[in-house]
Every structure is written in structure tokens, then in C-alpha cells.
Amino acid sequence: MTYVERVLENLKKNNPNEPEFHQAATEILTTLAPVVEKHPEYEAWGLLERFVEPERVIMFRVPWVDDKGKVQVNKGYRVQFNSAIGPYKGGLRFHPSVNLSIIKFLGLEQILKNSLTGLPIGGGKGGSDFDPKGKSNREVMAFCQSFMTELYRHIGADTDVPAGDIGVGGREIGYLFGQYKRIRDEHVGVLTGRGLSYGGSLARTEATGYGLVYITEEAMKARGDSFKGKTVIISGSGNVAIYACQKAQSLGAKIVAMYDSNGYIYDPNGIQLDVIKDIKEVKRGRIKEYAQRVKGSKYTEGCKGLWSIPCDVALPCATQNEIDEQSAKLLVENGVKYVAEGANMPSTLEAIEVFQKSGIVFLPAKAANAGGVATSALEMAQSSGRLFWPFEEVDKKLKDIMVNIYHNIDNASKEYGYEGNYVMGANIAGFIKVADAMLAHGIV
């Protein structure tokens, strides 16, 4: 049994009932085999065993009172996975599906993603099984205050800097920051994705979606291609999906479908993003309203059908494992040329295999959606320097970072003899920097 196989076997044995964590670890470790072979010191220093074990896992009770005066209790999590190259950094997810396995898979991915940005940020992730959907503002505030009343003691501008993720947007970050500041009496960059009036950065809201399109555009450019005239489908209709749609449209693409967790809309004339933004950002409504408001569009209950719509580019931007093997086959049969992951781990291992065998361009999440955390790191830099950069400056830095990521993963895939395999390229390029730092720090 190889070193990688042994580490994976032990991980599965020691962390039972954590399928998402196993999935992410399998994807990462199996692609690292050629690097591990080249560096026997990794095994001697127990590097992989340490890499897959979080430095710290914090789990806590989050009690709060709902609008009916009833006491509610949720679970809170923060996994501080790896601080070798910088303070822990990664979002908070509020969604009923959240559990330790999901937070650990996200945290593990985050280490390599953050490394790929080229910025000094370690990996972490957190969240709760709290569902903000259908809650009043007061209930969301009560929950966020209770969550931060425990979390504050574990985070700090130089220790651990959380951000948003599914279910955690500007409103939630505001309530979390307010409570942190009240307890600590410190106005510092301890959370990113903050509002512009209290330390946020321009272009952070747009960053993940824009970054996803920038890296895809660079992959297209390398092949003499562009977004112009391309038919695109996007899953989700949240933060990442909306701004991916906006940037792709501005480059001449036609987005024909999007979804939320209830169903998808198909608009052969091209999605009207202002209608989506009004439904999702302003009214916090359901996507099916789009079909009532826009003539010629159609709503279908259930999400899976989205992947059967013929397209040139697919941008999964909702959640993990939304593309299974069957959906991947459908996409390929219908002529997809580029799949770039805006969401974290939206493709199953089987789906990734289908994409890679078909020879299409597949850009994995840790490279493709790194623009969000990269811009969070730019927000941290502005906070530390007490600065506020113009939109164009942040956007240019974001674009440069995404272009660099593309070339780094492309070069790594070539260097190790797997040209065009960007899963390997991203894992290897991200890992080497973290491994170097871990070796430098000794056994810690």
C-alpha cells in the first residue's frame, strides 16, 4: 500500500460517517501521489497525516429566542484547519444540511484554494445548521449575536478571519461584526464581506462570480476562444451565480438557465439579471417568480433537469454534489466545452472522471472560485492599512490573481506530465507551498 493509500485508509477509519470529508480528501490525496513520490521527506515528516487533520475543531451550542418567544438551539462549528501560510480564513455557512463532515470538507479544500491565491492566508471553515430562510430580521440578528458570543474568543484579525458562504451574506456579516465589536471593543478586520460603511472592500460582493468568469475566460483565451456568443447555464441564483451571470453577460455570453433549491428557470432569450436580482437580493423570493414575470421563460420544479439543457459552458454555483455522473454525461453529450466550478465540490468524483475522460476543459472549485477569498484577503490588507481602494483597483487585482491561478495550475499539470488535468494542477500547485511552510515549521 502506498503512503497516500495508507493515509486515506486511516482517515476513513478515524473519521467515520463523514462522506463529504472522505470525498474531498480522496480527490486531493490521490492527485498528490506524483508529488509525494518526488519528495520522500513528506512521508518522513508525516506531512500528509498532519495535512488532513485539522489543527483545531470547535463545536458549540447556539441558543436563541424566536419571534414566538420559544427557545431554539442550533449547532455551531469552526474548523481551524491549517495556519501554515497565514491566519485561518474561510467562510461561515448557515444551512440546515451543515454538519461536521461538510465543514471539514470545505476547510480542507480551503487550504489549497487559499494557497493558490498567492496571498498569505491559511484554511478554515465554519457555520451552523441554522436556516436563515423564512426567518425575520430580528431572528437572524438574535441567532448571529448568540453565534458570535461563543465564536469571538476563537477568532481575530491575525488568528482567524471568517467570511460569508451559503446563507451568510451582507446582513449576517453585519450582525456578526456588530456583536464582535461590542464584546471585544475592537474595530478590526476580523470578518470579511463587511459593508462598505464599516471596513468592507469594493468588489468583494462581485468577486467570486467575476473571478470564476475571469479564470474561464483565460482558459478560453489559451485556446483562441472567448465567451462571445456562448450559451451558458448557471446553477444557483445566490451571490456567486448572480455575479458570474453579470460578468459572463458583459463578455457577450447568453445565460439561458439558473436555479434555486426548488427548481430551475429556462429563458431561451437570455436571463434578465435585473429580474433575478430583484427576486433574490431584494425580495428574498423564489426563482419561480421569474417565469411569471418574464414572457417566453419556463419554470420547472426540481433542479436536475438544468443539466440536460444544451450549452457551451456550465457554471455550477449552488452547492456540493449537484452534478452527478449522469448529469455530467448529459452535459458532455450535449456538447459542453467548459465546466468551471463556482460552488465548492459541485461535481461528484464520478462526474469529474466523466469530464476528464471527455477532454473538455474542467476547472475545479479550488482554482475557479478562489476569487472570493482572494478579494477577502485584499479586504484584510485594506483594513490593516486603513485604506479604501477604488473598485477598478480591486477588480484589476482580482483579475490578475485569477489569470495567475490559471497559468499556475496549467504549468503544474504540464510539469507533472498531466497536461490539461486541472484537478491535479490545482491540488499540486496549492499543496507545494503549504507543504514547504509546514516543513519549515517543524513537527507542529
Catalog residues that contact ligand NDP under the rule CB under 6 A: 164-167, 169, 208, 236-241, 260-262, 303, 317-319, 342-344, 369, 372
Q: What is the layout of strands, in order, in the sheet containing 231-235?
A: 298-301, 263-266, 254-259, 231-235, 313-316, 338-340, 361-363
Return the DSSP state at 154.
G
Contact at 8 Å (CB) between 370 and 405? yes
Q: Report the residue number, 253 or 315, with the smaller CB distance to ligand NDP.
A: 315
Supply the minimum distance, in Å, between the C-beta of residue 440 and ligand NDP.
28
- DSSP-derived secondary structure for 232-260: EEEE--SHHHHHHHHHHHHTT-EEEEEE-
Q: Report the residue number, 84 or 374, with the smaller CB distance to ligand NDP.
A: 374
Supply the minimum distance, in Å, between the C-beta of residue 94 and ligand NDP.
9
Q: Report the residue number, 4 or 116, with the smaller CB distance to ligand NDP.
A: 116
CA–CA separation, 75 and 81 (whole Å): 19
Find the Cα–Cα–Cα–Cα dihedral 335, 339, 343, 346, rounded to 10°: 60
Q: How many Å is the Cα radius of gyration of the chain?
A: 21
Cell readout for 185 is 471593543
3-class SS of residue 77: strand
Q: Report the residue number, 25 or 203, with the smaller CB distance to ligand NDP.
A: 203
Supply the minimum distance, in Å, between the C-beta of residue 240 and ligand NDP.
4
Contact at 8 Å (CB) between 438 and 84? yes
Reported as type and span, the H/E element at residue 63 is strand 56-65
Give the residue closest to ligand NDP by C-beta. Answer: 238
Query: Residue with C-alpha cell 476547510?
Result: 107
| Neighbour-count burial for 290-319, b at 16+ CB within 10 Å, e otherwise | bbeebeebebbeebbbbbebebbbbbbbbb
Task: Give Cβ neighbours of residue 200 (< 8 Å, ≥ 6 apart).
Answer: 192, 193, 194, 379
CA–CA separation, 129 and 436 (whole Å): 36
User: What percent of the residues of the chain are helix, what percent strand, and what percent coil, each to the nearest 5?
Assistant: 50, 15, 30
End-to-end CA distance of the chain: 26
Q: Report the residue number, 86 or 169, with the smaller CB distance to ligand NDP.
A: 169
Supply the minimum distance, in Å, between the C-beta of residue 369 and ligand NDP.
4
Q: Report the residue number, 374 or 412, with the smaller CB distance to ligand NDP.
A: 374
Q: Report the residue number, 291 or 438, with the smaller CB distance to ligand NDP.
A: 291
Kindly name the residue from 89, 113, 125, 254 that is annotated as catalytic.
125
Supply the minimum distance, in Å, between the C-beta of residue 296 and ligand NDP.
22
Supply the minimum distance, in Å, between the C-beta of residue 113 and ligand NDP.
8
Supply the minimum distance, in Å, between the C-beta of residue 103 and ligand NDP.
11
Contact at 8 Å (CB) between 331 and 315? no
**Is 280 annotated in the active site?**
no
Residues annotated as catalytic are: 125
